[in-house]
Amino acid sequence: MSLAKWPKIDVTADRTYPVFLGSSLEELGEYLHLQFEDVEHILVISHQIVAELYSERLKKGLLNYRVNLLTVPAGETEKSLERLAQLTTAALRCDADRKTLVIALGGGVIGDLAGFFASVFMRGIRLIQVPTTLLAQVDSSIGGKTAVNHPAGKNILGTFYPPLAVWTDFSTLESLPWEEVENGLAESIKHAIIADRSLFEFFENEEKSIKLREKSIWGEMVTRSSAVKVKIVSQDEREQGVRGLLNLGHSFGHALETEMNYRGVTHGQGVSIGIIAATHLAYAKGLMTSSEIDRVKRLLDTYGLPTVIKGQDPEALLQRMQSDKKNQGGRKILILPKGIGQAIVSKECTDLEILAAWKQVIS
């Protein structure tokens, strides 16, 4: 048997690891068996709902291992130190040890939480990311970022902890609620804006097929979008430079999510509004034309992503940006698109300019 049958793209950073695109949940066990000799115990960490849908398929391939399934409730608020403590207690009850392998089965929240757990449990145990949402497949499962939230801000505590592999089964997207699809589309479109103009055009041209979830088009969408992420994190795993561009829309989006206490706004919606705010800032700086702003707005709108939000206080949102991880020496670091297909890091945005951008997205 060989590994060659599973299509993949390699992340080539500190350590090289594969992102398998389009393999099946049932085959993961076969891969583990081929690749890792000394695995005996596996902890599958997942959401209750995701586990109900997919854990049986996954376990079919894991018959040779001692497997424990730990589930957490859904939701961004689950990414907490309290939940980490509970996972730790549960893992110890299952006799997890340094040789245990963690499978993070789920979306972005599970990937972040289970990834953080794996990175700190007994100072780090093995981790495989098995993303089941579009967002996780095209974005969060790739690149090794893990985190939990803190009342003062999102992803304040975390690690860079690349998985041994990312194992992506497209079939998990078939039943994904459209709201979850939107979360992934926001990140995919973000990838297109910052680094791949032709992917942007793909989203413009394939509206119908994407909305109908045509398998081959979705496969292409996930693969092309993942490729952007793989390329960027391969260049800059630790976010010293170019990786920062992936934060387009996120400083605004995180502020909005935190201000609304993760209720009434999804991550994708936050990012979508954040992209538009950043686009207005870019326009003010002469980096975009007004017709480019319209094109971005139109594309997000096409896929049901919001470009404005009601009833928010721009001053409060600005204040929330104060504890953004990217800030340096009290200065806000923002990502601004430069036309479509490129982006830059800007340290030159004043609070007044940021406030003006917020006002453009508050109705």
Q: Of 205 and 322, which has the nearer Cβ to a second copy?
A: 322
341 known ligand binder: no
* 151 forms part of the interface with a second copy (CB under 8 A): yes
112 known ligand binder: yes
Q: Of 147 and 287, which has the nearer Cβ to a second copy?
A: 147
Burial (0-12, 13-18, 19+ Cβ within 10 Å), 328: exposed
Q: Which positions are catalytic?
A: 123, 145, 187, 229, 239, 243, 247, 250, 254, 267
What's the closest the beta carbon of residue 92 comes to a second copy, in angstroms? 5
Tokens of 275: 């992209």
Could you give the C-alpha distances from 350 to 27, 247, 251, 318, 346, in angstroms and in order? 51, 18, 14, 11, 10
**87 touches 112 (CB < 8 A):** no
Binding mask 102-121 for a second copy (x = CB under 8 A): -----------------xxx
Closest CA to 319 of 362, 258, 239, 249: 258
Tokens of 140: 């969060």
Window contacting a second copy (CB under 8 A); options: 82-90, 169-177, 223-231, 305-313? 82-90
Farthest CA pair distance, the chain: 61
Q: Of 94 and 308, which has the nearer Cβ to a second copy?
A: 94
* 328 forms part of the interface with a second copy (CB under 8 A): yes
- 8 by DSSP, 3-state: which? strand
Binding mask 238-257 for a second copy (x = CB under 8 A): --------------------
d(CA 242, CA 51): 35
Q: Residues at the annotated binding site for Zn(2+)?
A: 187, 250, 267
Binding interface with a second copy (CB under 8 A): 40-41, 81, 84-85, 88-89, 92, 95, 97-99, 119-124, 145, 147, 150-153, 156-160, 322-323, 325-330
